Chain A
Amino acid sequence: MLFLIVIAATVVVTRDLLKATMLFAIYSLVIAGFFANLDAGDVALTEAAVGAGIGTVLLLAVLSLVPRYEHRHAGHSLPALVIVTITGAALVYASFDLPAFGQPGNPVHQHLAPYFIEQTYADTGIPNLVAAILASYRSIDTMGEAVVILTAGIVVYALLAAPPRQRRRHGKQDRS
């Protein structure tokens, strides 16, 4: 846990984007280890494959298009700092009203979860609960996700299809 906090703090502080990307990969890997420790195999696999693997590769691909070092912004906005602090404090205060973390009697565990845990195998014959819920009980949801992924691909295509020279010029005009 301490390791995670140290990595996160370093990512915030560093100006070297390559270093930040690699630290993110390590962060994802550590988190994946935590999930595996908690017996959440699906989530651990996803975090390791997407967060540590593909996410890093795609971030590196982005880095091949932008300068390696982050530009330092001059000055800070004091009102923004105040607003963020107040909002954060309010959220922390609101979290005291939540039921105690991880208790079996919490409302979230009372309605659907017992049904899924008890009935999924009888309904579908699929041993992996997560896969059954994703693909069978909530398959329209998952179809929406597939469409979202396709849309993401199309959007990246649309963004990168513009010729580079013109976009650069626009950027320079904005900066000057």
Chain B
Amino acid sequence: MRNNAILLVVARFAIPLVMLFGLYIQFHGEYSPGGGFQAGVLFASAWILFVFIYGLDTGLRVIPQRVIYALAALGVLLYALIGLLGVFLGGRFLDFYPLLDAPKAAQQTGVILVELGVGITVAAVVMLIFLLFVQRRAATLAAGLDPDAADAVQDDRE
């Protein structure tokens, strides 16, 4: 799609905005609607749009596949580690009060960090699922098994 000027211009304009909006939703989730899950989905959708425009190779150069694998696990780990941090500082699992002296600030910090974990995991997993389907499509076509062609054959049979 590199030759389509309208798509290129619109995407160049839209992708940073979508990513910015994702970050806003991520870190403003305690004040306005949103949170880690929605932010992760938005961020992943920006990357998917990037892949649509510039191709998968360029997209994987921006975020390598190994990094996506690592990020998916890292988000859950971040979440659990914040929970364990509360234990080490003298509270219970996922107790945010020990993190800081002021209770409200401690709660907000804990929630922001935990939501960040959710956001990272969701973004990485959505990107991963999309990536796997694209690669699967390429592998299927490479094996000479075009699903639409198979469909035509079956319609003949009917």
Chain A 49-86 against B: per-residue CB contact (8 Å), 1 yes, 0 no? Answer: 11001100110011011111101000000000000000
Q: Which residues of A contact B (CB under 8 A)?
A: 41-42, 44-46, 49-50, 53-54, 57-58, 61-62, 64-69, 71, 123-128, 130-132, 134-136, 139-140, 142-143, 145-147, 149-150, 152-153, 156-157, 160, 163-165, 168
Residues of A with C-beta under 8 A to B104: 124-125
B7 within 8 A of A: no
User: B147 near A66 (CB under 8 angstroms)?
Assistant: yes
Main secondary structure of the interface of A (DSSP, over half): helix
Task: Please report which residues of chain B, range 118-158, place their CB below 8 angstroms from some CB of chain A when the two chains form the complex.
Answer: 118, 121-122, 124-126, 128-130, 132-137, 139-140, 143, 145, 147-148, 150-151, 154
Q: Which residue of A lies closest to B34 (CB)?
A: A45
Q: Does B23 contact A (CB under 8 A)?
A: no
A131 lies within 8 A of B35 (CB): yes
8 Å CB contact of B148 from A42, A67, A150 = A67
Q: Which residues of B are found within 8 Å of A58, using beta-carbon distances?
A: 126, 129-130, 133
Q: How long is the Cα–Cα vector from A146 to B36 in the complex, in angstroms? A: 10
Number of A-B contacts (CB under 8 A): 166
Instruction: Report yes or no: B38 in contact with A49, Cβ–Cβ below 8 A.
Output: yes
Tell me what chain B mostly uses at the interface: helix, strand, loop, or mixed. Answer: helix
**Count class of interface residues, chain B:** 35 or more
Q: Across the interface, do A126 and B147 meet the contact criterion of CB distance under 8 Å?
A: no
Q: Which residues on A sit within 8 Å (CB–CB) of B130? A: 57-58, 61
Closest CB in chain A relative to B73 CB, distance in Å: 7
- Asked whether A149 lies within 8 Å of B125 as measured between CB atoms, the reply is yes
Does B83 sit within 8 A of A, measured CB to CB?
yes
Decide: A149 and B35 in contact? CB cutoff 8 A.
Answer: no
Given contacts A64-B137, A142-B118, whether A153 and B129 have CB atoms under 8 Å apart is: yes
Q: List 23 A-B contacts (CB under 8 A).
A: A42-B33, A42-B34, A46-B38, A49-B38, A50-B38, A53-B41, A61-B129, A64-B147, A67-B151, A67-B154, A124-B111, A125-B105, A127-B30, A130-B33, A131-B29, A132-B111, A145-B118, A149-B125, A150-B121, A153-B124, A153-B125, A157-B132, A165-B143
